[in-house]
Amino acid sequence: MTEFKPLVFSGVQPTGNLHLGNYLGAIRKFVALQENNDCIYCVVDLHALTAQLVHEDMATQIRSITAAFLAAGIDPKKHIVFNQSQVPQHAELAWIFNCVARIGWMNRMTQFKDKAGKDREQASLGLYAYPSLMAADILVYRATHVPVGEDQKQHLELARDIAMKFNMDFAEKIRPTGLGIDIKVGDEPVHAYFPMVEPLIDGPAPRVMSLKDGTKKMSKSDPSDLSRINLMDDQDAISKKIRKAKTDPDALPSETEGLKGRPEADNLVGIFAALADKSKADVLSEFGGQQFSVFKPALIDLAVEVLAPINAEMRRLMEDPGHIDAVLRDGGERARTRAEKTMNEVRDIIGFVR
């Protein structure tokens, strides 16, 4: 048995302001992973069309996510940073995956149900096929590891199902090309062209919740700006939002067990832990028994300490769009070379003449 060469891939949509959930659930992990891995980070602009077709500020949004990647510490020279539309192979593989994925699989996607809302007939076909494009984003590089927040878990399971079905259906065509490798999926030996992607979701804040309601995800689309900390928020805004964050009247517990049934406390402790690169247990051993009147100021200091330099660097980078575009062009070129290699192999496996 052999294994696929480890490769990290992830993407962020250029829609709305990035918030602390995007940072802790995704971008902070991207930065940590680049130390020991080959990484590809993508601004998924094609995905941004699925919920809303026309965006007045598309280019600014793409640059702003790129600026966040760079400001957070991603190195675009050692790794690849680019926007999805520069690599048409994503859309091409997505079409093939549209023919691999089954309608029944897509019907189970909870994010489609949430985003389409009541009037499903009016949702775009793109929104429905969204997870198929997401699978193509990853598999067009045959990437193996995908750091994301918990809300993307179901999409990554679908990516595994698509990879598995492609491998199985084309098994007899993959073998003679010599392009596949023997892997184990559970106990099952499979001759695979596409790897089974591993989601990287763990950490103290896989799902950062709204500051106003600990049972709702922190989200770009929440009408209340007080529900989230945006990466572009200044010190005063961060401080105000944490001070006003919903809590309960009790002191913090000394053990993580004590956070059960206290969603707001759990969320704030998770945020602290993720910002400090600690576990929730470590945070509670420091703050257990303390009131929120003590914990919140410490959280404000920590959030400002971590986010202010990122915020300042994002603003600096945004003043030089030419530089950001050059980074994306360079990344796009390198991504295209890799993606085209995969697509040529896929074309050969399927039997397209070229």
> In angstroms, how far is the first alpha carbon of the chain from the final one?
32
DSSP-assigned letters across all residues of 257-293: GGGTT-HHHHHHHHHHHHHHT--HHHHHHHHTT--HH
Backbone angles phi, psi at 193, to 5 degrees: -90, -40
To the nearest whole angstrom, how small is the minimum distance from the Cβ of residue 114 to ligand TYM? Answer: 12
Among 22, 61, 64, 144, binds ligand TYM (CB under 6 A): 22
Question: What is the Cα–Cα distance from 163 to 158, expressed in whole angstroms?
Answer: 9
Among 8, 13, 85, 324, binds ligand TYM (CB under 6 A): 13
To the nearest whole angstrom, how small is the minimum distance from the Cβ of residue 336 to ligand TYM? Answer: 17
Helix (H) or strand (E) holding 183: strand 181-185
CB-based closest residue to ligand TYM: 25
Backbone angles phi, psi at 147, to 5 degrees: -75, 125
Told to check if 44 binds ligand TYM by CB under 6 A, we report yes
Interface positions, 101-160, toward ligand TYM (CB under 6 A):
134, 137-138, 146, 148-149, 151-152, 155
To the nearest whole angstrom, how small is the minimum distance from the Cβ of residue 84 to ligand TYM? Answer: 8
Question: What is the Cα–Cα distance from 111 to 107, expressed in whole angstroms?
Answer: 10
Known catalytic membership, residue 184: no
Site string for ligand TYM, 176-215 (x = CB under 6 A): -------------------------------xx-------
Of 146 and 192, nearer to ligand TYM (C-beta) is: 146
Catalytic residue among 165, 212, 220, 341: 220
To the nearest whole angstrom, how small is the minimum distance from the Cβ of residue 134 to ligand TYM? Answer: 4
Q: CA dihedral in degrees (220, 224, 230, 236; nearest 10)?
A: 180
Binding site for ligand TYM (CB under 6 A): 9-13, 21-22, 25-26, 44, 47, 134, 137-138, 146, 148-149, 151-152, 155, 207-208, 217-218
Q: Which residues are catalytic?
A: 115, 217, 220
